[in-house]
Amino acid sequence: MHSEIARLFYTGELSFNIARNPHYIRAFSMATQRTIPGYLPPGYNLLRTTLLQREKAHIEKLLEPTKAAWKQKGVSICSDGWSDVQRRPLINIMAVCESGPMFLKAINCEGEYKDKSFISKLLIDAINEVGHQNVVQVVTDNAPVCKAAGLLVKAKYPHIFWTPCVVHTLNLALKNICAPIDSVQNKEVFEECKWIAEVSDNALMIKNFIMNHNMRLSMFNDNSNLKMLSLAETRFASTIIMLKRFRQIKKCLESMVISERWDLYKEDDVLKARAVKYKILDDQFWENIDYILSFTSPIYEMLRKADTDHPCLHLVYEWWDEMIEKIRVAISKGPHSGDSKFYEIVHDILVQRWNKSNTPLHCLAHSLNPRYYSDEWLQESPNRLPPHRDIEVSRERKKCIERYYSCSSERRSVNEEFASFSAAIDDFSDNDAMRDRGLMSPTKWWVIHGASTPTLQSLALKLLG
Residues 287 and 367 in one domain: no
Q: Final residue of a domain: which of 118, 142, 164?
A: 164
Sheet holding 135-140, edge to edge: 100-108, 89-97, 75-83, 135-140, 161-164
Residues 285, 183 share a domain = yes
57 inside domain: no
User: Which residue, of 286, 304, 322, is where some domain finishes?
Assistant: 304
> Which whole number is the average pLDDT over 440-460?
94
Distance CA 4, CA 1 (A): 5
Is the domain of 157 the same as that of 219?
no
Average pLDDT, the chain: 90
Exposed/middle/buried for residue 221 (C-beta within 10 Å: 0-12, 13-18, 19+): middle
- Provide the greatest CA pair distance for the chain: 85
Q: Are residues 80 and 134 located together in one domain of the fold?
A: yes
**Which tens digits make up the pLDDT trace of 108-132?**
998 888 899 999 999 999 999 999 9
C-alpha to C-alpha distance for 61 and 57, rounded to whole angstroms = 6
pLDDT, residue 88, reads 87
Domain span at residue 437 reads 359-464
Strands (E), 255-341: none
Percent of the chain with pLDDT over 90: 64
- Do residue 109 and residue 187 come from a single domain? no
Report which of 113, 119, 123, 168 is spatially closest to residue 141, judged by C-alpha positions.
168
Q: Are residues 181 and 154 in the same domain?
A: no
The answer to whether residues 276 and 202 touch, using CB atoms and an 8 Å cutoff, is: no
**For residue 13, pLDDT beyond 70:** yes
Position 234 scores a pLDDT of 67
Please give, one letter per residue, the 3-state secondary structure of 138-160.
Answer: EEECCCHHHHHHHHHHHHHCCCC
| Alpha carbon distance 176, 166 (integer Å) | 15
User: For residue 261, is it left (φ>0), alpha (ψ between -120 and 50) or beta?
Assistant: alpha
- DSSP category for residue 182: -
Main-chain dihedrals φ then ψ at residue 282, nearest 5 degrees: -90, 115
**209 lies in the same domain as 129:** no
379-405: pLDDT as tens digits: 988 888 999 999 999 999 999 999 999
Tell which of 110, 134, 164 closes a domain: 164
Asked if residues 380 and 422 have their Cβ atoms less than 8 Å apart, the reply is: no
| pLDDT of res. 100 | 84
Q: How confident is the model at residue 294 (pLDDT cuts 50, 70, 90)?
A: very high
Q: Are residues 300 and 178 in the same domain?
A: yes
In this predicted structure, the answer to whether residue 266 has a pLDDT above a threshold of 60 is no
**Is residue 208 domain-shared with residue 286, that is, in the same domain?**
yes
How much of the chain, in percent, has pLDDT values that exceed 70?
Answer: 98
Taking the C-alpha atoms of residue 245 and residue 253, their distance in angstroms, rounded to an integer, is 11
Query: What is the mean pLDDT of the segment spanning 360-381?
Result: 93
pLDDT digits (tens, 9 = 90+) for 334-347: 776 656 788 899 99
195 with 243, same domain?
yes
Q: What is the total count of domains within the chain?
A: 4
Q: Residue 350: inside a domain, yes or no?
A: no
pLDDT for 17-50, tens place per residue? Answer: 999 999 999 998 888 888 888 888 899 999 999 9
Where are the alpha helices (H) located in 74-212, listed in sequence order? 116-130, 144-156, 166-178, 187-211
Residue 297 covered by a domain = yes
Q: Is 79 helix (H, G, I), strand (E, B) or coil?
A: strand
Element (H, E) at 1: none
